[in-house]
């Protein structure tokens, strides 16, 4: 049964990209686009005027893709409702989704100077959090969200020499998946480093990799660095660490080279668990103001994957999420067949939770999916001699599965407060509050923040 289509215009709330005040907004059909289904988010600030931005261009139809779900409120809200969304995050009692991934920033330093960086890494670096502070953040995340997945981020986490100890702290607290968000430079240049992280308990690497060639890295990362990334992928495989390739996608930069990155991931081994695309959003350090960014929408990514793969991937393969808001992401699960992909029909992915899912069930499936699919596959010996879970993974063929996914983060132009309330990726602030990723990193046209550097 297909979810009922919603009519347009569709009302919501957003913020002014100049002053960040809460203002009414609506989704409307774009009259300027002929022959291409296109939807704008339009809003008006009484002081700064009208703003509009494309949020959906192409098929599937916006109105049939969007669907409701039963909310799942935080079991332990850390703040009270006072001014209302987006000003009371912590999470407040109105938030409609549990945490799937808790993100802890362990440093503001970085060994790259990317022109595009949501965290503005390397600028006005504050003192790094102590191990005691990070332990406090982990305990607060565990209290709020149970055994969710945890991602260690920054800055660049590997610039901390005590990263193995931080990983051991997370392991001791029983988080479902321990992942490191990294550019891979240290992994790819320091012998034995990947093995030390795996020994400490690291399950997965969320590896910044924008293309299968270095032209995009030169633009988005400020230098050519693909050889180091390829070496990082290789040594992670030897160490038994799963790898997800993560590409920032910008129109005119690398949107026309998505499929070669998928093909590269398939060639590099079964420990490369998938490719995750992130369309350009303007927050933190960025060469484009958010009203002029080279945007690519979710359906355009799906259409490009179909076109570039010559139909091996189709936009109809992709599901809206059962966890976060439907406008935030899509994904599909495939089976490797050499260097080609076959769709796994009916696979229980993080984005396939039934026609009318509850947010709680979506969160449960998302956490389980990431823990099972983003870790490196068990070795044949482990599958034969290991525990019941190892044998289950082998019998289910999960070691041959490969995910293709995409997440559209929101900036000051695209922010929809209904989407924010359904967010399941939460930054654990230094004070121990949990804040949706897009709100934590939100910046106005002049760089004013709502939360980063203020909590």
Average pLDDT over residues 15-33: 93
Which neighbouring-strand residues pair with 45?
A: 49
Count, residues in the chain: 455
**Helices 163-172 and 193-200, packing angle to 10 deg:** 20
Structure tokens given for 445? 């046209």
Structure tokens at 288: 């484009």
pLDDT in tens, 299-319: 999 999 999 999 999 999 999
What's the pLDDT at 351?
43
CA distances (Å), 95 to each of 91, 286, 369, 370, in order? 6, 29, 23, 22
Q: Which domains does the chain have, with CATH numbers?
A: 10-65 (2.20.25), 158-346+357-379+386-420 (3.80.30.10)
Q: What is the pLDDT of residue 86?
A: 96
Percent of the chain exceeding pLDDT 70 equals 87
For residue 320, count CB atoms less than 10 angstroms from its CB and return exposed for 0-12, middle for 13-18, buried for 19 or more: buried
For the chain, what percent of residues have pLDDT higher than 90? Answer: 70
DSSP class of residue 319?
B
Measure the CA–CA gap between 340 and 74, rounded to whole angstroms.
41
The string of pLDDT tens digits covering residues 144-153 is 999 999 999 9
91: preceding bond cis by omega (within 30 degrees)? yes
Whose tokens are 């990334």? That residue is: 229
Q: Is the pLDDT of residue 201 over 70?
A: yes
pLDDT of 385 > 50? The answer is no
- Name the least confident of 78-82, 130-134, 336-340, 436-440: 336-340
Residues pairing with 276 in the sheet: 246, 405
Mean pLDDT, the chain, whole residue set: 88
Tens-place pLDDT, residues 71-91: 888 888 899 989 999 999 999
């Amino acid at each position: 049964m297909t979810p009922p289509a919603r009519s347009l215009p569709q009302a919501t709330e957003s913020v002014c990209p100049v002053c960040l005040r809460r203002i009414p907004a609506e989704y409307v059909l774009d009259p300027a686009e002929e022959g291409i289904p296109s939807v704008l988010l339009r809003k008006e600030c009484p002081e700064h005027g009208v703003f509009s931005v494309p949020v959906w261009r192409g098929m599937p139809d916006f109105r049939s893709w969007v669907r409701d779900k039963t909310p799942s409120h935080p079991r332990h809200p850390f703040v009270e409702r006072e001014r209302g969304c987006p000003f009371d995050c912590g999470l407040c009692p109105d938030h409609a989704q549990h945490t799937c991934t808790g993100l802890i920033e362990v440093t503001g330093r970085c060994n790259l100077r990317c022109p595009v960086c949501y965290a503005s890494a390397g600028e006005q670096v504050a003192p790094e959090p102590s191990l005691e502070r990070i332990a406090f953040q982990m305990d607060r995340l565990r209290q709020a969200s149970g055994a969710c997945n945890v991602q260690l981020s920054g800055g660049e986490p590997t610039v901390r020499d005590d990263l193995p100890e931080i990983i051991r702290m997370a392991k001791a607290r029983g988080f479902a998946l321990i992942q490191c968000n990294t550019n891979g430079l240290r992994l790819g240049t320091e012998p034995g480093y990947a093995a030390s992280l795996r020994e400490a308990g690291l399950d997965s690497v969320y590896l910044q990799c924008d293309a299968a060639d270095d032209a995009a890295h030169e633009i988005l990362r400020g230098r050519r660095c693909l050889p180091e990334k390829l070496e990082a992928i290789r040594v992670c495989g030897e160490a038994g660490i799963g790898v997800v390739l993560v590409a920032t996608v910008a129109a005119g930069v690398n949107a026309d080279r998505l499929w070669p990155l998928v093909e590269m991931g398939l060639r590099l081994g079964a420990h490369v668990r998938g490719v995750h695309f992130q369309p350009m959003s303007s927050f933190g350090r960025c060469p484009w103001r958010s009203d002029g960014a080279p945007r690519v929408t979710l359906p355009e990514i799906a259409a490009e994957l179909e076109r570039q793969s010559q139909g091996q991937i189709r936009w109809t393969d992709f599901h809206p999420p059962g966890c976060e808001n439907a406008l935030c992401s899509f994904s599909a699960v495939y089976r490797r067949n050499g260097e080609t992909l076959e769709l796994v029909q009916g696979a229980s992915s993080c984005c396939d939770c039934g026609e009318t899912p509850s947010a709680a069930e979506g969160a449960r499936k998302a956490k389980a999916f990431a823990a099972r699919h983003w870790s490196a596959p068990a070795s044949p010996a482990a599958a034969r001699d290991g525990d019941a879970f190892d044998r289950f993974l082998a019998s289910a063929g999960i070691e041959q599965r490969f995910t293709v996914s995409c997440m559209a983060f929101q900036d000051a132009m695209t922010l929809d407060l209904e989407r924010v309330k359904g967010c399941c990726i939460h930054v654990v602030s230094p004070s121990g509050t949990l804040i949706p990723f897009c709100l934590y990193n939100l910046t106005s046209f002049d760089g004013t923040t709502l939360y980063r550097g203020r909590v």
